[in-house]
Structure 1
Amino acid sequence: HPEAASRRGISDGDYVYVESPMGRVKAKAKLYEGTVINVVSMPLNIGSRGYEPWETGEEVNPMRLVKDGVDPVDGRFVNGTKVKVYRA
């Protein structure tokens, strides 16, 4: 979200690191008003060459950041995780 990015000194098109306890990836920031504030969304297969402006042809695998698990309260499968985002 542009507001959350602005607080971190990140502009649309900047390279950023997205980091979790599982690892870190470098990606180009694409700011979008429709994203929930303080939520990071990364499409899969972003490493492929495509026609969308955010598809740079650089290999990025956001699944490296996620630890799969089971919710201890209701037993459902979860694969979300908290991340830090900062300028590269």
Structure 2
Amino acid sequence: MPIESVRLINTVLTLYYIEGLTQAEIAQRLCLSTAKVNRLLQQAREQGYVNITIRTPFQQLFDLEARLKAVFGLQEAIVIPAMAESSVRR
């Protein structure tokens, strides 16, 4: 892939994922069509340039929900955190 193409993809990725611009805003800023911006984002995903990690305090609960749905064929599963002993007052 030519260096110019790599630089353009990097610019689009930065504007989209880091700066939070919409595809239309990126297209306007870089004088591209929105379809071209969309294709560049898709190409970047296919090339492995994009790695999205979501970190949330509830991620383990979401993972467990997904496993429960898969193992038991459930449509929906909701796992809630247990209350700590110290927070339970009787």
TM-score exceeds 0.5: no
**For the superposition of Structure 1 and Structure 2, which TM-score range results when normalised by the shorter chain?**
under 0.3
Q: Which has the higher helix share?
A: 2
Q: Which has the higher strand share?
A: 1
Question: With structure 2 as the length reference, what TM-score do the two structures score?
Answer: 0.21
Q: Which has the larger radius of gyration?
A: 2
**Greater RCO structure (CA 8 Å; 6+ sep):** 1
